[in-house]
Structure 1
Amino acid sequence: MAASLSTLHLHHQLTFFRKPSLSLLNKSIRPTRITASLEFNITFAPPKPKPKLPANLQTDAASLSLPPGQLFIPWIVRGEDGNLKLQSNPPARLIHAIADAKTQPKKKKDKVKKESGGNVKAKLEAEPTRSKAARRFYNENFRDQAQRLSKVLAAAGVASRRSSEALIFEGKVTVNGSVCNTPQTRVDPGRDAIYVNGNRLPKKLPPKIYIALNKPKGYICSLGEKESKSVMCLLDDYFLSWDKRNPGLPKPRLFTVGRLDVATTGLIIVTNDGDFAQQIAHPSSNLSKEYIATVDGVVSKRHLFAISEGTVIEGVHCAPDSVELLPHQPDRPRPRLRIVVHEGRNHEVRELVKNAGLEIHSLKRVRIGGFRLPSDLGLGKHVELKQTDLKTLGWKC
């Protein structure tokens, strides 16, 4: 826009004073009016020319005759004659195609239906997979921690599972002020007040512990207080530092997974997790166990064949998975046999060697499942198992 000021006439002159006199202060002062005549010259840009349509593009006069103010949406279509034309309505074949089109089902829904076997609603409402840290936080803070009363007493270190049941039957256990005589009662130590012989059970149970111990000769796998040389005596130093490492938590009641006789050395696992012990020790787990048997005399092929044939133990025929004669070593004058079994019956390896006509000088277990006894773990020493070690044992923790 261009603007110009033509003329400006002033009809009065303004007089400026430095200091007004006293005589002028008493007089009324009228404001001076300033008048001016303004003239503007405003011009606008010329309108843009309308775009020219291609020569081969025809227009439908009937379709372009729209009422004033109505929005025009052009459709460029090809007519039956093959020429392009401009119209305001969509082609008829497009409208028919939209009307006849079928809604396509979602691919995700079809996949969920296939995975869930038709129960789509149950699959969609299922809890989504969370991270390991999120599951641990949920289990520790929100999940129902109710367990059987006898199991809670055993986990708290009161007594074994059977001894805890005996205490419950004798009426020595109260739950929330009432005597409980049912070992299967579901309780939560964090919420329920549990007393055994008048002593309050801690609200927090000790954590799950898994220890690999290199058992020496002369120690038995027993928890009896009368036994002076139990394998639990080898863990005294572990319990001495328990309060420093786990403040506020009761000491766990540990027990061995399976047993080794008093003369057998090597790998034995100690834990306070009953479910873990049941799975590892049960024959249905089919965990292989490797032993190194040092024998007296000379071993021949006949002995190896007799051992591989197996023998009857407690009315059941038992045969090893493999038998191998180890190479002779200068520092080991007696021959050594590697024997692998999976049933783990009482004195199974000793009975197999005895049935072959050989006499065992020493027997050592070196492997359970996929976990092998560390070579640097001395007799009577122990090491805590890591998550990877538990996985090699087939335990899903």
Structure 2
Amino acid sequence: MAATVASLSSSLLFSKPSLTLRPFRTLPRIITSSLPSSSSSPPQFNISFAPPKPKPKPSEPDPFSDSDPESGGQLIIPWIVRGEDGNLKLQMHPPARLLHATANSDTATTTTKVTKKNKINKNKSSEVVPKSNYSKAARRFYNDNFKDPPQRLSKVLAAAGVASRRSSEELIFGGKVTVNGSVCNTPQTRVDPAKDIIYVNGNRLPKKQPPKVYLALNKPKGYICSSGDKESKSVLSLFDDYLKILDKRNSGVPKPRLFTVGRLDVATTGLIIVTNDGDFAQQISHPSANLSKEYIAVIDGDVNKRHLIAINDGTVIEGVHCTPDSVELLPRQPDIPRPRLRIVVHEGRKHEVRELVKNAGLEIHSLKRVRIGGFRLPSDLGIGKHIELKQSHLKALGWKS
């Protein structure tokens, strides 16, 4: 028994043990510096997250940007135009003058290359195709804002310089006017000079109408405000040179038939408006326009307070009692020894200022009109000279085009 135990122990000492290799896993390293010292409490980790990136704020639309988000990327072009006050301003739509010129221009033509499979006629010139028509919205915008509607036949004849409105009606009643081959005896017939064929005394009326003309004249003494006759001088004769220059400037267009807006008597000088626009003349001369007119009256003799009171009380003219808006005695000037009165009226009846002064017992040496509405006669405009009225001047006169 002892021998058996000794043999087993010796075999265990000198025999090689069997080894089993297992894969070694690397465990993650945990830093426990932030852990609490007590092992009984659960571990707590100090974890913080970065704040989210702010969303970009929508930028305000730039008027000079190439696209508009609301219009789906439509191209917007800013326009720099000069306003009626003479200052430059920025607007997002084309000027009305440009739209009018574009709509009136002839349909442009574009050339396209002829492409064929066999490339025949290489030396032949490219075909010319007309430009596509404007859209319905563009045509509607033009018709509503720029295209002139059909006008009365008598007004068209007067605007073309054939005769005055009344004389044109006499020509129509006399059967001397034909429209599209038929005699027209009704002055109220609506016609379009650009489309209708109009003949007067066998002469065809031009399709193009003369341009609208607005002039301010410093009327001299001794001229009448009508066409006149051989023995009298008309203010319209002072525009002969101007009409010649206008004819050269607008070749192929008939000359405008000028007339005065209202009248000044032959002895009165100063501001008178001359035009060929009947609507303009009717609007500013109608009593509803309520335009005041300022006169400077040079008086023979002395003027005292009772004269001013008498003028301010007014007088009866053609059965209507007329009173001035204001009467003022101006200070004496060294070069003008006679007293001067500033009289403002708005009714504009015939010889109204002269009758007011005469009723007060005074005698007028000279009378000059210096203002109509908000437009004053330029101080540097010589006698017998004229200037072309600008849009601001027309607004000062009360014109609403």
Q: TM-score, normalised by structure 1?
A: 0.65
Distance, in Å, in 2 between the alignment partners of 1:139 and 1:374 is 37
Q: Which residue of 1 aligns with 2:96?
A: 132
2:188 pairs, out of 184, 204, 207, with: 184
Distance, in Å, in 2 between the alignment partners of 1:144 and 1:394 is 22
Matched, 1:255 2:259: yes
Shift of residue 232 of structure 1? 0.5
| Other structure's SS at 1:350 match | helix
Shift of residue 224 of structure 1? 3.6
Structure 1 moving runs of 4+ over 2 Å: 129-145, 224-228
2:175 pairs, out of 138, 160, 171, with: 171
Q: Which residue of 1 aligns with 2:388?
A: 384
Question: For 1:203-242, what aligned pairs fall within 5 Å after superposition?
Answer: 203-226=207-230, 228-242=232-246
Distance, in Å, in 2 between the alignment partners of 1:232 and 1:133 is 30
Aligned length: 269
Summarize the Cα distance change of 1:135–1:286 in structure 2 as closer, same or farther, 3 Å threshold: farther
Distance, in Å, in 2 between the alignment partners of 1:303 and 1:144 is 52
Distance, in Å, in 1 between the alignment partners of 2:286 and 2:400 is 16
| Other structure's SS at 2:233 match | coil
Q: Which residue of 1 aligns with 2:367?
A: 363
Distance, in Å, in 2 between the alignment partners of 1:276 and 1:179 is 30
Matched, 1:326 2:333: no
Shift of residue 207 of structure 1? 1.1
Q: CA RMSD in A?
A: 1.7
Summarize the Cα distance change of 1:198–1:227 in structure 2 as closer, same or farther, 3 Å threshold: farther
Q: Which residue of 1 aligns with 2:379?
A: 375
1:202 pairs, out of 190, 206, 227, with: 206
Summarize the Cα distance change of 1:225–1:175 in structure 2 as closer, same or farther, 3 Å threshold: farther
The AA in structure 2 aligned to 1:315 is G
Shift of residue 225 of structure 1? 4.2
Shift of residue 131 of structure 1? 5.2
| Other structure's SS at 1:244 match | helix
Matched, 1:294 2:298: yes
Distance, in Å, in 1 between the alignment partners of 2:103 and 2:329 is 50
The CA deviation string for residues 290-341 of structure 1, in whole angstroms up to 9 with x for no partner, is 0000001110000001100101101000000000000001100000000000
Q: Which residue of 2 aligns with 1:275?
A: 279
Q: Is the 8 A contact 2:317 2:352 kept in 1?
A: yes
Distance, in Å, in 2 between the alignment partners of 1:150 and 1:242 is 24
Matched, 1:353 2:317: no
Q: Is the 8 A contact 2:179 2:199 kept in 1?
A: yes
Question: For 1:148-163, what aligned pairs fall within 5 Å after superposition?
Answer: 148-163=152-167
The CA deviation string for residues 149-168 of structure 1, in whole angstroms up to 9 with x for no partner, is 00000000000111100000
Q: Which residue of 1 aligns with 2:316?
A: 312
Q: Is the 8 A contact 2:224 2:232 kept in 1?
A: no
Distance, in Å, in 2 between the alignment partners of 1:135 and 1:314 is 50
Summarize the Cα distance change of 1:227–1:137 in structure 2 as closer, same or farther, 3 Å threshold: farther
Q: Which residue of 2 aligns with 1:335?
A: 339
Distance, in Å, in 2 between the alignment partners of 1:304 and 1:130 is 55
The AA in structure 1 aligned to 2:213 is I
Shift of residue 226 of structure 1? 3.8
Q: Which residue of 2 aligns with 1:395?
A: 399
User: Matched residues, percent identical?
Assistant: 80
Distance, in Å, in 1 between the alignment partners of 2:381 and 2:374 is 17
Distance, in Å, in 2 between the alignment partners of 1:276 and 1:136 is 21
Shift of residue 220 of structure 1? 0.3
Distance, in Å, in 1 between the alignment partners of 2:325 and 2:331 is 20
Shift of residue 231 of structure 1? 0.3
| Other structure's SS at 1:338 match | strand
Shift of residue 132 of structure 1? 2.8
Q: TM-score, normalised by structure 2?
A: 0.65
The AA in structure 1 aligned to 2:339 is P
The CA deviation string for residues 68-107 of structure 1, in whole angstroms up to 9 with x for no partner, is xxxxxxxxxxxxxxxxxxxxxxxxxxxxxxxxxxxxxxxx
Distance, in Å, in 2 between the alignment partners of 1:246 and 1:255 is 20
Shift of residue 223 of structure 1? 1.5
| Other structure's SS at 1:380 match | coil
| Structure 1 stretches lacking a partner, 5+ long | 1-128
Summarize the Cα distance change of 1:139–1:145 in structure 2 as closer, same or farther, 3 Å threshold: farther
Shift of residue 240 of structure 1? 1.8
The CA deviation string for residues 336-382 of structure 1, in whole angstroms up to 9 with x for no partner, is 00000000000000000000000000000000000000011000001
The AA in structure 2 aligned to 1:164 is S
| Other structure's SS at 1:379 match | coil
The AA in structure 1 aligned to 2:374 is G
| Other structure's SS at 2:311 match | helix
| Other structure's SS at 1:394 match | coil
